[in-house]
Structure 1
Amino acid sequence: MKPAILPAPPKPEPVAELGTDQQPMLYLLGGLAFALRSFNNLNQILELTAFVASQLTAADGGALVLFNPNGTIQLDQLHCSDLDRREQIRAEMEQIAQALSAQEPILKTEGSLSVKIPALEHLLDERLRQSLGPDVRLFGTPLLIRSSVQGRLYVFSRQPGYQWNERRQQLLRLVADQAGVAIENERLTAALRRKMALEKEMEIGSYIQTQLLPRQYPQVPGIRLAARCRVASKVGGDYYDFIKIPSERPENSRAAADEPVGSLAPSPEPSEDFRLAIVIGDVMGKGVPAGMLMSMTRAMVRAEALNRHSPARVLQHLNRAMYSDLENSNRFISLFYSEYDPRSRRLCFSNAAHNPTLWWRARSRDIQPLDTEGALIGLEEHSQYSESCVHLQPGDVVVYYTDGYVEAANTRGERLETSGLMEAIQRAASRYESPEEILENLFEQMDAFRGRQGSHPVVPGPPVDAGLLFQDEISLRPEPVDDTTLVVLKVLPDSEPT
């Protein structure tokens, strides 16, 4: 009978090679592993790194030098058994790190990282050896994080017979690997915290945005309205509003101002003795800051509108009032403000660098952009705004929009552009009668261009289950990069009731 062939024993790890007479080394490695699992403070773990490295290799001291992402070199930790020389060594190493950080040819020139790092390591080793003196032996190993050199771990010894053998090299690399794991864990944890904070901010901003958008359409003789805001992420800066403005009746101003915010309930007996302000805008930015600016903009626009100022004067007052706040935040607002008079079917408007509103005329079936000169809100303190008026006719359609629609891109990266929106309006207005159908078809045409289904609708009405908003997000097609808001105004035939 042939003897059984046993598999070759596995190659022993460095720790396994330590005999029972070297239990202190096992204790040090175990302590470092425990710190890696238990400590939440990265600095505490790295403090142990230099100490454990020097103890495991029987050296006089150890040092941890980090290569920061901003191109600087930092002496992070130093352990030295010679207390008399420790501060001197620290000062010299920090001086070397600062000097190398300031050398642009090494850290800040164009080129491959794999080329720069070996040169940097070699130069750093040489400078440290010169600083420590000829009677001190210095040994180092790279600190790797995801196969990228992020620093150096050193040990140094003044002992005349100090031997730098293979086992000590393995132990130093083992400590450096654990330090790299600790640094990477800290970076991942910090990134997760930032992500969670951003998501929380987006949720708060989303709540602010949904509370600010109108929940109902105002009832206006002779027209019907439809609107929708589709957000690209949880929250953006798109904003629209409807404001009933009493016509030269001061006693009604207080009642109008006291209407619930975001809820413009239909009047049981529609009267033509008012004008309707239709506003659409885009606050640059996302999250809570954009939501707060949107809230402030909405309140100030309402206040100016209810004072019965002209559209141009509304934007001028708004710009002057908000200039200092917007200048400090480096944010701006594009805004299209219009007022519709149901008695004359007259639409007057002023534009603060927003997308021109598009007017589809039923008789000629052509589209005319409605635009005036004016700068972004917050760009210049003393900006002047102009205004213009048009007379709408039965069957006409007016479409207000934000740049998310015209910037929609397909799988080839082509954008829809304003010309694409005008073609979509031409098809929808010619085919459908109600503004709701026109609005729905405009979004369908945008989605067909992009090659996907719609997502994230925010429309007037009861709150939508947040879970439903993300059901169609699994797609290989491009995601929208900006919010998309449409407001459709349809002038009814003379015989049709409101």
Structure 2
Amino acid sequence: MLVSILSSQYARFAALAESWLALGASAFGVWQDGRPIVYWPSSHRLTTPSLRAPLIMQGKEEIGELRVAGITGTAFEQRLRADAELISYLLQLEEELQQITADLVTSQDQQLALYRLTQRMREYVTVEQTLDVVVKETMRILKAEVCCMMFVPNSGQDALLIQQPEGFLSDDYLWQLYWQGLATEHPIHLSKVRPSEGPEGLYNLLYLPLRIRNNFMAGLAIINRSGGFGTPDIKLSKSIADQASAQIDRVLLYQEMFDQAKLRTEMDLARRVQLELLPPTLPSIAGLDIYAHSRPASEVGGDFYDFVVQDGRPFIFVIGDVTGKGLSAALLMTMTRTAIHSKAQFMPYPTPEAIMRQSNEDLYNDFTRVGVFATALVGQFEPGSNVLTYANAGHAPVIYRPYDGEAVLLRADSTAIGILPVNPCRNQHLRLGPGDLLIAATDGFTDVRDHDDDLLGIERLLQLVNASHHKNAHEIAEAFFAETEHFGQGGQQDDDQTLVILKGAVS
């Protein structure tokens, strides 16, 4: 430092020497460690000075001294001491300037390193990739021998532990650090670790718990940094940890958005498949006015209806509802519809009772394993007979309104499909002549709620049927959907709404 300032401020030291020589001194010079650095005149080495004044850095030991020869006295001593203090002050300023310059350079390098780290982390879209790049870049930035990251998600996913190089510290020791940091929520700093105090090869360590989404879900361990961890190094490590926390948070958000988008795509596909499985056209059956429609909710569900029309055989219709919602309900709905349709189409002498019993036998074991059931109504109509035969396995609401009477609820006479090994349903008969009306719907209608959380219920549907029975089947269906929308005041539809309407044609 002293040599450096003499080189940069030589002219000022020369002027100071000239002033002392003008006062009558025979020589002036600067010494360090018992050796002369510079002196005036060049022929005088000041081995026996008459005055000396030490050069002392603030808070440090003596780093040199000023020497004068040829004059003595208190006034000259005071002046030399003042010159020494001034030079000491200049030395202090020079040291501080160099430190500031070094700090600025270091800060710039660190900011550049953090910027590069941030840019690299953005290239990756998984937590494991992010942890890996943080470990590698932290080792490079902080010149550490080992680095490690741990991550424990809140979900059921597996915990992650990445160590570079692998195997330097045991997984048990690193997880112990993680749980200790989780308990204290504070950094762990170990310096000059003795062999008896830690694993072999460990001599310093800095562990930082990472807060992600207001929970400590990860940790960064920096091990065996050359030179140890000073305050600037700890600050830099915390900056890296903050960047890592933010990136992990972004990755988790991206994964959630991706999963949600994937789920929405799957649900949309399932909804389209569900609608495609419904009959594309309404059948034309002599003596009947038929209308059917299914309005899906935001989620796919278990509603379905079906028609089986074959030459020389009775017309058969089905409506059903599998418990639950989502993809599982849609899958089980497909199974139920397929089982009932195949029985109705291929049995030699199909009747609603036989179709229901055989379908229950086919589905019982599978439904029991997954803990679900399905309600269903199977109806059969022989054109020209004015008689409808049906079997009801726990399905509601089914409403019958004779032309000259009031609407009534037809209650199920057996349990739903999948409840018992043998379904106890029986064929039931009712008149379906001109003006007579049968409406089979799913609970998506009765379970609609208003702003007071009251249910639409059966009674309101019965009143609606009495009020609209004179309309055709399509118009009655429109009245049903309009009533549920009005009652629910435009709220979100929670369940599929499916109905099949058969009305005796009036000639």
TM-score, L = length of structure 2: 0.68
Cα distance between partner residues in 2 of 1:175 and 1:487: 64
Could you tell me which residue of structure 1 aligns to residue 447 of structure 2?
407
Aligned to 1:442: 480
CA deviation profile, 1:431-467 (whole Å, cap 9, x unmatched): x421222111111111110112xxxxxxxxxxxxxxx
| Cα distance in 1 for residues equivalent to 2:290 and 2:362 | 30
Q: Does residue 320 of the first structure (1) align with residue 386 of the second (2)?
A: no
Work out the number of aligned pairs and report it: 400
* 1:87 alignment partner, SS class: coil
What is the alpha-carbon distance in structure 2 between the residues aligned to residue 243 and residue 194 of structure 1?
39
Tell me, yes or no, if the aligned pair for 1:32 and 1:45 is still in contact at 8 Å: no
| Structure 2 SS opposite 1:358 | strand
Q: Are residues 1:154 and 2:221 paired?
A: yes
Alignment partner, residue 305 of structure 1: 344
Separation in structure 1 between the aligned mates of residue 498 and residue 204 of structure 2, nearest angstrom? 69
1:490 matches 2:478: no
- Correspondence 1:416 to 2:501: no
CA drift at 1:315 = 1.0
The residue that corresponds to 1:91 in the other structure is 171
Indicate if the aligned counterparts of 2:438 and 2:502 stay in contact, CA closer than 8 A. yes
Aligned to 2:234: 169
Say whether 1:47 aligns with 2:135.
no
**8 Å CA contact 2:356, 2:423 repeated in 1:** no
Displacement of 1:232 in angstroms is 0.7
Mapped pair 1:354 → 2:354: no
Alignment of 1:17-166 (within 5 A): 19-20=104-105, 25=110, 28-70=113-155, 74=159, 76-79=161-164, 87=167, 89-93=169-173, 96=176, 119=183, 121=185, 131-132=198-199, 136-157=203-224, 162-165=228-231
Q: Call closer, same or farther: CA 1:169–1:299 in 2, change over 3 Å.
A: same
Q: CA deviation at 1:482?
A: 0.8
Is 1:188 aligned to residue 256 of structure 2?
Answer: no
Residues 83-125 of structure 1: CA distance to partner in whole angstroms, max 9, x if unpaired? Answer: xxx6362233256379x5xxxxx9xxxxxxxxxx963546999
Residue 345 (1) aligns with residue 407 (2): no
Q: 1:348 to 1:123 in 2, by over 3 A?
A: farther
Q: Distance in 2 between matches of 1:124 and 1:75?
A: 20
Give how far 1:54 is off.
4.5
**Aligned residue type for 2:291:** A
Deviation at 1:70, TM superposition (A): 4.6
Match of 1:373 in 2: 414
Of 437, 447, 464 in structure 2, the residue corresponding to residue 397 of structure 1 is 437
Stretch of structure 1 that moved more, 334-343 or 89-98: 89-98
Deviation at 1:349, TM superposition (A): 1.6
Shift of the alpha carbon at 1:316? 1.2
- 8 Å CA contact 1:372, 1:388 repeated in 2: no
CA spacing shift, 1:91–1:200, aligned 2, 3 Å: closer
- Secondary structure of the 1:355 match is coil
| CA distance in structure 2 between the partners assigned to 1:357 and 1:298 by the alignment | 19
For 1:131 and 1:309, the matched residues in 2 are separated by 80
Match of 1:451 in 2: 489
Cα deviation per residue 1:191-221 (whole Å; 9 max; x = unaligned)? 2332233233233323322322223322223
Change (3 A) 1:64 1:408: same
Structure 1 Cα separation of the partners of residues 145 and 449 of structure 2: 63
Note the C-alpha offset of 1:17: 8.8
Between 1:173-182 and 1:136-145, the stretch displaced more is 136-145
CA distance in 1, matches of 2:440, 2:276: 20
Give, in whole Å, the separation in 2 of the partners of 1:393 and 1:370: 21
Q: Which has the higher contact order (CA 8 A, sep 6+)?
A: 1
The root-mean-square deviation of aligned C-alpha atoms, in Å, is 3.5
How far residue 225 of structure 1 moved from its aligned partner, in angstroms, is 1.4
1:202–1:286 contact (8 Å) kept in structure 2:
no
What's the counterpart of residue 282 of structure 1?
A: 321
Amino acid at match of 2:390: F
Q: Which amino acid is 1:92 matched to?
A: D
| 1:402 Cα deviation from its structure 2 partner | 0.7
Amino acid of the structure 2 residue aligned with 1:152: G
Cα distance in 2 between the residues matched to 1:125 and 1:72: 30
Query: Counterpart of 1:413 in 2: which secondary structure?
Result: coil
Q: CA deviation at 1:485?
A: 0.8
- 1:380-391 to structure 2, matched below 5 A, reads 380-391=420-431
For structure 2, the residue ranges without an aligned partner over 5 or more in a row are 1-100
For residue 297 of structure 1, what is the amino acid of its counterpart?
Answer: T
Bigger Rg, structure 1 or 2: 2
For residues 340 and 118 of structure 1, do their structure 2 counterparts lie closer, same or farther at Cα, with a shift above 3 Å needed? same
